[in-house]
């Protein structure tokens, strides 16, 4: 199907899958973004990690990005690449210690994690141009197609939580659609995400009206930190971000500014499990709620997000998840959504197995780094 938002109209996703083999014979799985830049960096960072202790993720970070934020010359791509290798190292460590990843992160508190079904900004028959998309959005009768899609997701997989990706084309479309969604699913959690494509004044006007719908939260209704902080002060609904608080150094200013209620942290933007865990602890200590963001990951990162949610008591909101929209995965075990939730796999590490046949069918390019004879 076509996934449309204010940022993209896509029908496929590309990911980098990482296998990290330790000297003790244990292999860990990781994943990160699949852009050419990140794939190239993954090869480079993998070489930097050779011979390092996978149990010591501090050493892996220093070997790749350096010690300080300033040392990171690769920006967001560097953090995302490190996160992929970091995940593989956590998985390998947990497997070596015969602990589940959740236990190694903190605890295995729960096995069932509620997940969120994304709703495209519009239901389109195929990928379209921006002009075709706007023509579609000019016809407000098309909102009904998104509502029908949501109801179908609820019927098929029992979803109780939904995220409306908004194209931020017109407040009228979003207002009408969200009202229809609320009317169709009175008890559902609904988050609204225009990816900051509404300007602050427009967003605040719209969100004030939307307060009456008691949505779960407004996710990046506008930007940047100042804009979203002013909007938060003007509305009753909680305000979340996965755009303006995405790195260590963003957190303290956001807390001081009282800019958001929810830090919807993306494992790859934050640069790995340890950074995400520190964010969750700090956010919670100052009354903010950490939650897990997702953008169409394979089963590897989806399951990693389940482990984070299980491990950290600070995580209360359902996890974002896009896996159920993918036509294929790389894992042997199907990661299904039933009754609106996914189950934490049993076993050590992530508790999942790479299916080489499935991986091969999807592979665009592969690189082996540092095989020792």
Partner 1 sequence: MAAPVSVAYTHVHSIRVASGAEALVARALIADGTAGFGFTLNLDAGVARDMAAWDALGRSRKVSLFGLLGGSFRRKVNLARDENPSIPPDWTALRKGILDNRYELLRIDPFAWGSVELVQTIAAVAASFDLGIALLAPNAHPWEIQYCAALAATIKGDDTRIIFRKELSQKQIQVSSEPGFGIDWELEAGFAGVRWQGPG
Q: Does 252 bind partner 1 (CB under 8 A)?
A: yes
DSSP H helical ranges for the chain: 36-49, 57-64, 75-96, 101-105, 130-138, 143-157, 171-184, 200-210, 225-234, 248-257, 267-270, 273-285, 299-311, 356-362
Residues 6+ apart with CB under 8 A from 20: 27, 28, 29, 30, 46, 49, 54, 85, 88, 89, 91, 92
Closest CA to 321 of 333, 308, 332, 313: 308
Interface with partner 1, residue 55, by CB under 8 A: yes
Does the protein bind partner 1 through residue 108 (CB under 8 A)?
yes
Cβ burial, residue 180 (10 Å; 0-12/13-18/19+): middle
State which of residues 3, 163, 232, 277 lies at the interface with partner 1 (CB under 8 A).
Answer: 277
Q: Does 286 bind partner 1 (CB under 8 A)?
A: yes
Closest approach of partner 1 to the CB of residue 249, in Å: 8
Task: Choose between 58 and 140: whose C-beta lies nearer to partner 1.
Answer: 58
In this chain, which of 273, 303, 350, 352 binds partner 1, going by CB under 8 A?
Answer: 273
233: contact with partner 1 by CB under 8 A: no
Q: Which is nearer to partner 1, 95 or 136 (CB)?
A: 95
x/- map, 322-351, partner 1, by CB under 8 A: ------------------------------
Q: Site for partner 1 (CB under 8 A): which residue of 22, 59, 184, 326? A: 59
Quote the CA–CA distance of 30 and 15 in Å, as a whole number: 11
- The residue from 37, 48, 224, 248 that contacts partner 1 (CB under 8 A) is 248
> What is d(CA 257, CA 252) in angstroms, rounded to the nearest whole number?
9
Examine residue 256 and tell whether it contacts partner 1 (CB under 8 A).
yes
Q: Mutual orientation of helices 36-49 and 75-96 as an angle, nearest 10°?
A: 50
Q: Using an 8 Å Cβ cutoff, are 84 and 31 in contact? A: yes
282 binds partner 1 (CB under 8 A): yes
- Sort strands 161-165 and 189-193 into parallel, antiparallel or unpaired: parallel
CA distance 329 to 92: 21
Residues 171-210: x/- map of binding to partner 1 (CB under 8 A)? ----------------------------------------
**DSSP of 123-151:** --SS---HHHHHHHHH-GGGHHHHHHHHH
Q: Does residue 144 belong to the site contacting partner 1 (CB under 8 A)?
A: no
Does residue 247 interact with partner 1 by CB under 8 A? no
Q: Token digits for 296?
A: 């169409």
* Distance between CA atoms of residues 245 and 262, nearest Å: 10
274 binds partner 1 (CB under 8 A): yes
Burial class (CB in 10 A: 0-12, 13-18, 19+), 12: exposed
Residue 56 binds partner 1, judged by CB under 8 A: yes
Q: At residue 95, what are phi and psi to the nearest 5 degrees?
A: -65, -40
CB of 171 to partner 1, least distance (A): 35
Only one of the segments 99-107, 119-127, 138-146, 338-346 lies at the binding site for partner 1 (rule: CB under 8 A); that segment is 99-107
| For partner 1, the closer CB: 281 or 338 | 281
Q: Is residue 7 part of the contact set for partner 1 (CB under 8 A)?
A: no
Binding segment for partner 1 among 15-23, 102-110, 204-212, 221-229 (CB under 8 A)?
102-110
Asked if 128 contacts 167 with a C-beta cutoff of 8 angstroms, the reply is no
Which of 42, 79, 104, 246 is the binder for partner 1 (CB under 8 A)?
A: 104
Residues in touch with partner 1 (CB under 8 A): 55-60, 93, 97-99, 103-104, 106-108, 248, 251-252, 255-256, 273-274, 277-279, 281-282, 285-286, 313
């Amino acid at each position: 199907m076509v996934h449309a938002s204010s940022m993209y109209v896509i029908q496929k996703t590309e990911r980098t899958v990482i296998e990290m083999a330790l000297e003790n014979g244990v292999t860990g799985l990781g994943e990160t973004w699949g852009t050419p830049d990140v794939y190239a960096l993954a090869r480079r960072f993998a070489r930097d990690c050779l011979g390092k202790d996978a149990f010591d993720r501090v050493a892996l970070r220093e070997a790749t990005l350096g010690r300080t934020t300033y040392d990171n010359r690769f920006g967001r791509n560097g953090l995302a690449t490190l996160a992929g290798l970091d995940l593989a190292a956590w998985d390998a460590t947990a497997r070596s210690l015969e602990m589940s990843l959740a236990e190694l992160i903190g605890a295995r508190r729960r096995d069932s994690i509620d997940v969120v079904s994304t709703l495209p900004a519009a239901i389109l028959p195929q990928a379209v141009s921006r002009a075709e998309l706007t023509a579609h959005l000019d016809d407000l009768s098309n909102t009904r197609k998104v509502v029908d899609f949501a109801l179908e997701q609820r019927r098929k997989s029992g979803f109780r939580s939904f995220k409306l990706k908004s194209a931020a084309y017109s407040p009228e479309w979003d207002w009408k659609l969200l009202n229809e969604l609320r009317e169709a699913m009175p008890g559902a959690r609904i988050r609204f995400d225009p990816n900051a494509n509404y300007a602050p004044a427009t967003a605040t006007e719209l969100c004030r009206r939307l307060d009456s719908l008691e949505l779960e939260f407004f996710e990046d209704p506008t930007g940047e930190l100042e804009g979203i902080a002013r909007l938060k002060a003007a509305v009753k609904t909680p305000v979340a971000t996965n755009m303006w608080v995405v790195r260590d150094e963003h957190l303290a200013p956001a807390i001081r500014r009282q800019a958001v209620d929810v830090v919807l942290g993306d494992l790859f933007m934050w640069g790995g499990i340890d950074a995400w865990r520190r964010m969750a602890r700090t956010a919670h200590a100052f009354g903010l709620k950490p939650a897990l963001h997702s953008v169409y990951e394979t089963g590897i990162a989806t399951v990693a997000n389940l482990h984070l949610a299980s491990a950290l008591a600070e995580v209360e909101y359902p996890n974002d998840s896009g896996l159920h929209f993918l036509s294929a995965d790389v894992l042997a075990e199907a990661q299904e959504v039933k009754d609106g939730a996914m189950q934490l796999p049993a076993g050590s590490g992530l508790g999942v197995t790479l299916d080489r046949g499935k991986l091969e069918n999807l592979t665009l390019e592969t690189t082996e780094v540092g095989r020792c004879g």
